[in-house]
Amino acid sequence: MYQVGALKDIREDLEYVQTELCEERDKIMDEYTGLKDTHNILQDKHKETEEKLKRFEELLMVSLAEAEEKHQKAVKTIAQLENEKSNLINQVGALKDTVEELEEVQAELRKDHDEIMDEYDQLWATHNILQAKHKDMEEKLIISEELIIVEKLESHHAIKMERDE
């Protein structure tokens, strides 16, 4: 009976851990989605910057000095965006790895849970068998006690009959 309780406690603990892991995975996925949106925005900004760069090159004919200055600014912006893009890609990769690890942990927990539930079912079946055997033995004990009482009564009756003769 103690083992059944312990198994129930383990089961509850595993369900709690699984819930926490699911919540953590959801948080990571939300963060991943935010990073992905930021990445898309940065890609759009990058495209806009590239378009500006093309316009600056057209203005080169009008004002070379002015165009060179704008070009240098655009190059810096592109470098920053590329750096940010690289950082975001690394973060996305790390988040994907974390999600993958959490999925593996969840699979292991699910497997452990299934094994524990199988063991629980086996213990429960054994418990039911033992309970039935116990009931049967109690019934046999009552019958044996009744037979002993009957034998004692018969023995007393036989002794009394011998005395009376």
Q: Tell me, what CATH number does 112's domain have?
A: 1.10.287
pLDDT in tens, 15-32: 888 888 889 988 988 888
Q: Is residue 158 part of a domain?
A: no
Q: Is residue 154 part of a domain?
A: no
**Domain limits for position 110:** 2-135
Q: Is residue 14 part of a domain?
A: yes
Closest CA to 96 of 20, 19, 23, 28: 28
Q: Is residue 153 part of a domain?
A: no
Taking CB atoms within 8 Å and a gap of at least 24, the contacts of 87-96 are: 88/35, 88/38, 88/39, 88/42, 89/39, 91/35, 92/32, 92/35, 92/36, 92/39, 95/28, 95/31, 95/32, 95/35, 96/32
Q: Backbone dihedral region of 9: left (phi > 0), alpha (psi from -120 to 50 degrees) or beta?
A: alpha
Q: Is residue 54 part of a domain?
A: yes
Q: Is residue 118 part of a domain?
A: yes
Low-confidence ranges of the chain (pLDDT < 50): none
Chain position carrying tokens 């059944």: 4
Q: Is residue 46 part of a domain?
A: yes
pLDDT at 163: 78
pTM of the predicted structure, to 2 decimals? 0.39
Q: How many domains does the chain contain in total?
A: 1
Phi, psi of 143 (to 5 degrees): -65, -45
Question: How far is Cα 94 from Cα 88, in angstroms, rounded to an integer?
Answer: 10
- Give me 63's structure tokens: 């004002």
Q: Is residue 144 part of a domain?
A: no
